A and B are shown apart, each in its own frame.
Chain A
Amino acid sequence: MLWLERRVVASLSENLDHAQRESVAAFVEGCLRSMPELLRFGVAAESVVLGAAPWLRERLGRSEGPSIAARMARWERNPVGPIRQYPRLLSSLVLFATEELVPAGSK
């Protein structure tokens, strides 16, 4: 997974315990690796473009600016389809893995 993908998955699974988070992240990584190459290229390109600003901010040690969760909420309302679909794809993968891997009531 690329930097932004790891951050998004971590943000979406932050209420899980460490082992559960690892399982969910492994599932998402396996899914992204298995995607058709063209789709994976598209998702990776979005990860690089959308992740550039938060990555730079983190490298510079600046803590201001929207959180990953806030950025995702903004991307979900973006008029550009592929940007809207980016958080939805990662959210769906995390949701499916969480519901299948984590016993009900332990989240």
Chain B
Amino acid sequence: MILASEVLIVGSGAGGAVTAATLARAGRDVVIAEEGPWIDPDAIQPFSLDELAAKYRHRGLAAALGQPGIVYAEGRCVGGSTEINSGLYHRLPPDLADEWRATYAIDEFSPAVLDGYADRIEAELGVSMLPVASPPSSAVLADGAAKLGWRAVEFARVFRYDANGRGTKQTMARTMIPRAVADGARVVPDFRIDRLVTRDGRAVGAKGHRTDPDGHREPVTVTADHVIVCGGAIQTPALLQRSGIRANIGLGLKFHPTIKVAARFPSAFDHDDVPMHRVTEFSPYLTIGGSASRRGQVALALADSGVDYHDALADWENVVVYYAAIRGEGSGRVIAIPGLSAPLVSYRVTDADLSRLARGLVHLGELLLAAGATELYPSIVGGPVVRAPAQLVEWWDALSRSRANLMTVHLTSTVRMGEDRKLTGADSFGRVWGHGNLRVSDASLIPDAPGVNPQAAIMALASRNAEHFLATT
């Protein structure tokens, strides 16, 4: 199959979908190549085993190698990670935007500029607060913080709510993708781009293959005047490297190393949603929040402690999973390996990061005990189960490189943007150095871990970069 387009967009997540909707609305001829399937957002229960199989890359079993290794998750479906995340919405903290603008010499990156794009995105998608009282699993965070005199905030989400308070997550498959299609964009799901085709320093298209439901693979070639890669902080640098583009690509991977605690309470809690409160007392370097807590996730969090958890698991409806996530000083790399479809991902946790994680874990324990938890199981192999504040000090010693079970979801910074060519892989608007018509527009451009869910920053950046594209091509 051969496809021709003016603009090829690789990836359909927060970056790709916003870019596609903006360009298609302006009348540009857009093809969106998405490696994963196109799934009705209502067809699969959130955070379920079916969702893991259908929408997660590697079924959620990817890990950054290091000591310790860190499990990470990426979406792999039309809508990308917006289909699988919690939908929590945080604008990029203005002090970080100012800091990065100065460090990397990023043009048009002031908080005021970004806020302008964020205003529009929020109005288009529907970013709102829960219109009813927050569920107990979330209120626990506010309650514990209040007892300790800490700040806690209920965050808005990319949700629209009906009169009964029933929410629908405004994923890209529900919003930007249908809008792009209505304006003429073509979405090709199950289509993996193997490499970009470049000629004389310009991208002229891509080669890949489409996989049918029966497993049959068909080679596909796309010709395009412009290529915009939006595959996320792991897949984007891997594709660029596979295409022979390597300068400052795949270096400096950043994310939020996260450690969990399974907290057992005297009574049953809700388990259908993710807590929307976050403890911001220690932000942006440490954030405390809650995770998906279906029976399977509760079991995994309990098992991460490596101690006997069967009594707590039998009582799983009283158990909720919470986390402490840090903005670390460590960083990692993404390296495409010839012949393999998945890149090698590595990450180095520093001693200071480990110390910060231990502090976060102890703060999380303090908060949960203050909120009424009776037993805390940390994600440390052999980490002691804590039942009273005086025992929390044991977690300091227990947290080590060989015993910590860490995970993350917010991956950024593998193709940093800015005008300082020594530090960046692309210019201020995502144009890959040395390739004027090849752009990146996703989490890869964000220069550092933002300390909050990066979806809002990705969408604001993608909107800004798409408008720059329209103004300059």
**Chain A contact residues: over half helix, strand or loop, or mixed?**
helix
Question: Are A92 and B49 in contact (CB-based, < 8 A)?
Answer: no
Nearest CB in chain B: distance from A14 CB, A = 16
Question: Are B59 and A96 in contact (CB-based, < 8 A)?
Answer: no
Question: Are B49 and A96 in contact (CB-based, < 8 A)?
Answer: yes
| Chain A residue contacts of B62, Cβ below 8 A | 35-36, 39
In the assembled complex, the Cα of A28 lies from the Cα of B90 at a distance in Å of 36
Question: Are B303 and A91 in contact (CB-based, < 8 A)?
Answer: yes
| Chain A residue contacts of B341, Cβ below 8 A | 37
Contacts A31-B59, A35-B58, A95-B300; A100 near B294 (Cβ below 8 A): yes
**Is B340 an interface residue, CB under 8 A from the partner?**
yes
**Is A19 an interface residue, CB under 8 A from the partner?**
no
| Chain B residue contacts of A104, Cβ below 8 A | 295, 316
Residue of A nearest to B50 (CB): A100
Question: Are B63 and A39 in contact (CB-based, < 8 A)?
Answer: yes
Instruction: Encode B307-349 as 1/0 by CB contact (under 8 A) with A.
Output: 0000001001000000000000000000001001111110000
Instruction: Encode A7-43 as 1/0 by CB contact (under 8 A) with B.
Output: 0000000000000000000010011001111110000
Question: Are B48 and A100 in contact (CB-based, < 8 A)?
Answer: yes
Question: Are A38 and B61 in contact (CB-based, < 8 A)?
Answer: no
Contacts A36-B58, A36-B342, A91-B303; A99 near B67 (Cβ below 8 A): no
| Chain B residue contacts of A50, Cβ below 8 A | none
**Is A1 an interface residue, CB under 8 A from the partner?**
no
Residue of B nearest to A103 (CB): B295
Contacts A95-B303, A100-B48; A37 near B342 (Cβ below 8 A): yes
**Is A97 an interface residue, CB under 8 A from the partner?**
yes
Nearest CB in chain B: distance from A28 CB, A = 10
Question: Are A31 and B61 in contact (CB-based, < 8 A)?
Answer: yes
| Chain A residue contacts of B53, Cβ below 8 A | 30
**Is A53 an interface residue, CB under 8 A from the partner?**
no
**Chain B contact residues: over half helix, strand or loop, or mixed?**
mixed
Question: How many residues belonging to A are interface residues under a CB distance threshold of 8 Å?
Answer: 24
Question: Are B59 and A100 in contact (CB-based, < 8 A)?
Answer: no
Question: Are B342 and A85 in contact (CB-based, < 8 A)?
Answer: no
Instruction: Encode B278-315 as 1/0 by CB contact (under 8 A) with A.
Output: 00000000000000001111111001001000000100
Question: Are B49 and A100 in contact (CB-based, < 8 A)?
Answer: yes
Quick one: which of B48, B62, B67, B298 has the most chain A CB within 10 A?
B62
Question: Are B295 and A99 in contact (CB-based, < 8 A)?
Answer: yes
Nearest CB in chain B: distance from A98 CB, A = 8
**Is A48 an interface residue, CB under 8 A from the partner?**
no
Residue of A nearest to B69 (CB): A85
Instruction: Encode B184-222 as 1/0 by CB contact (under 8 A) with A.
Output: 000000000000000000000000000000000000000
**Is A101 an interface residue, CB under 8 A from the partner?**
yes
List residues 49-83 of chain B with CB under 8 A from any CB of chain A. Answer: 49, 53, 58-59, 61-63, 67, 69
**Is B374 an interface residue, CB under 8 A from the partner?**
no
**Is A81 an interface residue, CB under 8 A from the partner?**
yes
**Is B402 an interface residue, CB under 8 A from the partner?**
yes
Chain A residues with CB under 8 Å of chain B are: 27, 30-31, 34-39, 76, 81, 84-85, 88, 91-92, 95-101, 104
- Other A-B contacts than A38-B340, A96-B49, 14 sampled, CB-CB below 8 A, are A31-B61, A35-B62, A36-B62, A36-B63, A36-B340, A38-B344, A81-B67, A84-B402, A85-B69, A88-B381, A95-B300, A99-B299, A99-B313, A100-B48
The 10 closest A-B pairs by CB, nearest first: A36-B342, A100-B49, A100-B296, A99-B296, A99-B299, A34-B59, A96-B296, A99-B295, A37-B340, A35-B61
Chain B residues with CB under 8 Å of chain A are: 48-49, 53, 58-59, 61-63, 67, 69, 294-300, 303, 306, 313, 316, 337, 340-345, 381, 402
